[in-house]
Chain A
């Protein structure tokens, strides 16, 4: 008996086979579904050398988390986009993370960018985690904007108080970059120092894109301060200090955590001696995981990272995201920004590898002890810890 396969039957069979193949392809893809989050940092531009190190730290964290099984078997996927530390570029990056990559949470830094993208996060109900920016007004940028890094009113307050009470300085000049990072932090320093009883004899801004600060520094020199507090971006601060010394200004200089990087000593040379910086992350003595982390950098890059404390926070940031996803998974919540925010407020205390215990307060801030370090013989050495 002959069997005849009609054309219609053949087509039906082919359609069924194609559907089966598509289903088979989809099943592994579903099983491999990743837990997405965004990382918007400067890959290019004047802040790139710091942004790249921070991205590297976060990439290591994601790899370490995924190596240990991810979050309940699901891998974290970090989508990295460039902001150039510029608000307009940051806005484009965040819009892409939300509209195209559908990330329910993203991490970003640099105060100008954090502030510029905050309205997008609030409008789209996507959780924005600021890690590294320190403008105090970040705590008031909206429901969906949280910082996991202490703001300037933490370390700058500690520094101003230390300068007055412990160092005994009474006349300070404040020199700051004329941008979001510098203006507010400089005002915080001035307010705290004056409240303590000191006098701010010069309060001078400079263009962060400038490379010659002679005029500003001459004005500071004319005010004859006992000490100079500098608050700018990490790229130009070594130049400011070097040009200060070239003008015969021998006053001790203090700055915030942005000054705690090896480039400061390399570029400013002996001009950096006596520089006081803050660190908002625990050191090797305070957290045993920091030593191996530094060794990892030396092995991979032959150096310690630019802005070591910042990279510690960026390494820990994916762990925070992983904890939020774990909460969603436990409570069967969808991966949306609203759920992420709910998870952040519910979990609110995180035990992190490199920054130890971190508590996100309801007022959108975090608080940590402030470590002070100083440059002695070309190296950063611990000076004090302010609780």
Chain B
């Protein structure tokens, strides 16, 4: 059971499959940091993006690039709409966090309900066959999907980092994340910064949905389950820490895959809930890395 090849396979496959969860966690952590919204409506955006791509590619037979662009457009429009006509209104009204939380949950459930009516509950993937070529490297199965997923996720993480560090809008987002009211005094639009955060998050969840749907299948309720992993990763990685959220997502994927070595596999799905309880009770501020290893959205960095 603890054969080195098996452990290596678990490690590699966990790393590859964590790519979707990294993107979902980054999206959630980014909107939380900049707009201070626990955006559970992200599940609705994820579902809408996925089914938009599914409809375009498998029902209307569009090319893959066009299908992805369609899903991205849906995600962006939905996120922008939520920010402009939802969260911005709540900020203006100084609404309580509970009201905003209920809004996001209801939105996510409503989208799942609509998707069920439109597409049913039969599992759907984004390709007719989810097989990809597999190469054996030292006894470890490395599929083309694994390489694509890791490559795309690394590219997106690097792009996000570069955007936040080296572009004006990215720096504005950092300022708003740090102190929104002070940023406004310096002429930085908090609303624009929040909108940018939501649009970037939309792009991240669309890419995550693409990766997930080319390897597994989705039903309308799946994004809500994926959200839980994103929330746990965000809390565990430390609220406000993007790289903490990303690393935590990888850790959770590894934990879930490796857990089958010691627990019955039918319990594997419930593990994430145990971790959620443990994180909330024991690590409410997340696992803090040493300062020199941290990379936060902070005006000091």
Q: Which residues of A contact B (CB under 8 A)?
A: 44-49, 84, 178, 204-207, 209-212, 214-216, 218-219, 221-222, 235-236, 239, 242-243, 245-249, 266-271
Contact = CB atoms under 8 A, between A and B. Distances in A.
Contacts of A222: 1, 3, 6, 261
B86 interface: no
B82 to A, nearest CB: 26
Contacts of A45: 120-122
Interface string B230-273: 00000000000000000000000000110111001110110000
B132 A219 contact: no
The list of the 3 closest CB pairs from A to B, nearest first, reads: A248-B141, A269-B129, A205-B266
B129 A235 contact: no
Contacts of B215: 212, 243, 246
B143 interface: yes
Given A246-B215, A268-B129, A269-B131, 16 more contacts: A45-B122, A46-B121, A46-B123, A211-B123, A212-B17, A212-B215, A218-B13, A218-B260, A219-B261, A222-B1, A236-B217, A246-B141, A248-B134, A267-B125, A267-B128, A267-B129
B145 to A, nearest CB: 7
B121 A44 contact: yes
Given A210-B269, A215-B259, A242 B129 contact: yes
A74 to B, nearest CB: 36
B282 interface: no
B120 A48 contact: yes
B301 to A, nearest CB: 35
B9 A247 contact: yes
Contacts of B3: 222
A212 B6 CA distance: 18
Nearest to B221: A209
Contact of B141 (A48, A205, A239, A247): A247
28 contacts: A44-B120, A44-B121, A45-B122, A47-B122, A48-B120, A204-B264, A204-B265, A207-B266, A207-B269, A211-B216, A211-B218, A211-B222, A212-B216, A214-B13, A214-B17, A216-B265, A218-B9, A219-B261, A219-B265, A222-B3, A222-B261, A239-B123, A239-B125, A239-B130, A239-B217, A246-B132, A247-B9, A248-B141
A270 B257 CA distance: 26
Counting contact residues on chain B (CB < 8 A from A), the size range is 35 or more
Interface in B8-26: 9-10, 13-14, 17
A273 to B, nearest CB: 11
B164 to A, nearest CB: 30
A46 B128 contact: no
Contacts of A242: 129-131
A46 B269 CA distance: 19
Nearest to B132: A246
Contacts, number: 112
Contacts of B141: 246-249
A87 to B, nearest CB: 16
Interface string B126-143: 001111101010001101
A371 B6 CA distance: 37
A268 B131 contact: yes
A289 B215 CA distance: 40
Contacts of B132: 246
B251 to A, nearest CB: 15
B276 interface: no
A214 B257 contact: yes
A216 B256 CA distance: 10
B69 interface: no
Contacts of B219: 46, 209, 211
Contacts of B130: 239, 242-243, 246, 267
Contacts of B1: 222
Pick the most buried of A44, A84, A206, A211: most chain B CB atoms within 10 A of its CB: A211
A57 to B, nearest CB: 19
Interface in B177-220: 215-219
Contacts of A247: 9, 13, 141
Interface string B113-125: 0000000111101
Interface in B64-105: none
